[in-house]
């Protein structure tokens, strides 16, 4: 995602707290490199966690990132619907609508 497409609040945090945001970025890089999971799987997991927490922007971001890393739309949607017995149908339906915002449908 290009810098001009980043959420305005994220851009503002980068502007006002560059050291903090660099540390957040470094943490993200470190945890990705700490184990055997590939980028697609990591983003599907993060999208699922974001769905459970009802974080719309993070669901958008991680769905996009998962698809950029090779996930199909079917895999992204399946990663959400398998959450139904854990987070409930209403939360899954909501998260699915957020994926619709960024999918190619």
pTM for this prediction: 0.86
Domains, the chain, with CATH or none: 7-36 (no CATH), 38-105 (1.20.1290.10)
Determine the pLDDT at residue 3: 56
* 3-class DSSP state of 95: helix
pLDDT at 6: 81
Residue range 5-62, pLDDT digits in tens: 788 999 999 999 999 999 999 999 999 999 999 999 999 999 999 999 999 999 999 9
Contact 52, 68 (CB under 8 A): no
The Cα–Cα gap between 15 and 102 comes to 26
């Amino acid at each position: 995602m290009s810098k001009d497409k980043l959420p305005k609040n994220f851009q503002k945090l980068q502007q006002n707290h560059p050291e903090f945001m660099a540390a957040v970025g470094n943490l993200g890089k470190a945890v990705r490199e700490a184990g055997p999971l590939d980028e697609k799987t990591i983003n599907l997991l993060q999208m699922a966690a974001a769905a459970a927490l009802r974080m719309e922007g993070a669901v958008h971001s991680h769905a996009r990132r998962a698809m950029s890393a090779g996930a199909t739309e079917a895999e992204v949607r399946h990663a959400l619907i398998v959450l139904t017995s854990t987070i409930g149908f209403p939360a899954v339906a909501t998260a699915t609508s957020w994926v619709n915002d960024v999918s190619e449908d």
